[in-house]
Amino acid sequence: MPIQTVRGLVDKQQLGFCHSHEHLFLAKGHPSTLNPALCLDDYETTLEELLSLRSYGGRAVVDAQPLGSGRMEAWLLRASIDADMHIIASTGFHKLIFYRDDHWIHRYSEKQLTEVFVHELTEGMYTGTDLGEPVHSIAAKAGIIKTAMDAQRMNDPDKRWILCCC
């Protein structure tokens, strides 16, 4: 079964050694107001790290930063090309603390969340979702659904976060 990367489908044998959980880029925004270290916006440094991984035999990376909380979609695609590295991007959601109180993800229904995640897996990743609702997308697709859990999410009585991802 092929694996969805930001550059398209790849046969699983082509993945080779895969770093299974990384955050390659993290845009300055709400997460960095919580902790300044939660900003990874130095493209050249990340590219150097990917090239180093490649020199040691790495051929793929799962980027675990989902939409709406600092994911940098275009940079994931660009880095995949520049490093000749397979990058599997994430849709889904992070811990609720990483979203502003007025973020759209708090008010979207289970059906709306499902539609967003399916679109990212089948049509392309949305851009600009840190500040606005998912409207515009690029052709690069996500390959996994992230479902970050914490006490706040576990205590959420409607559990729409988990139901929409199943």
What is the share, in percent, of the chain residues with pLDDT greater than 90?
83
User: Given a cut of 80, is residue 11 above it in pLDDT?
Assistant: yes
Domain boundaries, the chain: 3-163
CB 35 within 8 A of CB 26: no
The CATH T-level fold of domain 3-163 is TIM Barrel (3.20.20)
Distance from C-alpha of 99 to C-alpha of 119, rounded to nearest angstrom = 20
Distance from C-alpha of 116 to C-alpha of 2, rounded to nearest angstrom = 22
Helix (H, G, I), strand (E, B) or coil at 49: helix
- Tens-digit pLDDT profile for residues 85-105: 999 999 998 888 899 999 999
Q: Beta-carbon neighbour count of residue 143 at 10 Å?
A: 22
DSSP state of 106: G
pLDDT for residue 132? 96
* Comparison of pLDDT for 39 and 110, the residue scoring more: 39
Distances (CA, A) of 152 to 94, 95, 97, 156: 12, 8, 9, 6
- Tokens (6 digits) for 143: 């390959």
Question: E strands of the chain, at which residues?
Answer: 3-5, 8-10, 17-22, 58-63, 86-88, 90-93, 144-147
Q: Is the dihedral of CA 121, 72, 9, 162 positive or negative?
A: negative
CA–CA–CA angle 10, 16, 20 (5° rounding) = 90
pLDDT for residue 164? 65
Closest CA to 147 of 160, 134, 131: 160
pLDDT for residue 151? 74
Rg from Cα positions in the chain: 16
- Tens-digit pLDDT profile for residues 52-82: 999 999 999 999 999 999 999 999 999 999 9
